[in-house]
Amino acid sequence: MIARGHTLAVGGLVAALAGLIALLIGDSTELRQPIVLAVVGPMSGPAAFQGQAMADAARLAVEQANASACPDSRPIELHVFDDRS
């Protein structure tokens, strides 16, 4: 006879493993969600030239990564924010 505590522990372990497997496998719609990257810098004001250079370099890197990625990989999406410095 298995003790009640052992049954709960085994049940919890099975549930945790099932969750881990679901996370690793996922579904196809989840795999296509973009990877979101952000650039935060001085996009306005006296240092805007530095922020724009950062944003341009990040855009170029994202374009190159998306262009060279395999068809099944997740796309990369870039968000640019002004820190108003």
Q: How would residue 48 be classed by pLDDT, with cut points 50, 70 and 90?
A: very high
Does 54 lie in the same domain as 36?
yes
What's the whole-model pTM score?
Answer: 0.62
Per-position b or e across 38-67, b if 16+ CB within 10 A of its CB:
ebebbbeeeeeeebeebbeebeeebeeeee
pLDDT at residue 62 in the model:
95
Does 47 lie in the same domain as 78?
yes
Beta carbons of 73 and 65 less than 8 angstroms apart: no
pLDDT at residue 15 in the model:
56
Number of domains in the chain: 2
pLDDT at residue 85 in the model:
80
Q: How would residue 30 be classed by pLDDT, with cut points 50, 70 and 90?
A: low
Q: What is the pLDDT of residues 71-84, one digit of tens each?
A: 888 999 999 999 98
Does 69 lie in the same domain as 50?
yes
Question: What is the extent of the structural domain holding 1?
Answer: 1-26
Token pair belonging to 8: 């709960």
Q: How would residue 8 be classed by pLDDT, with cut points 50, 70 and 90?
A: very low
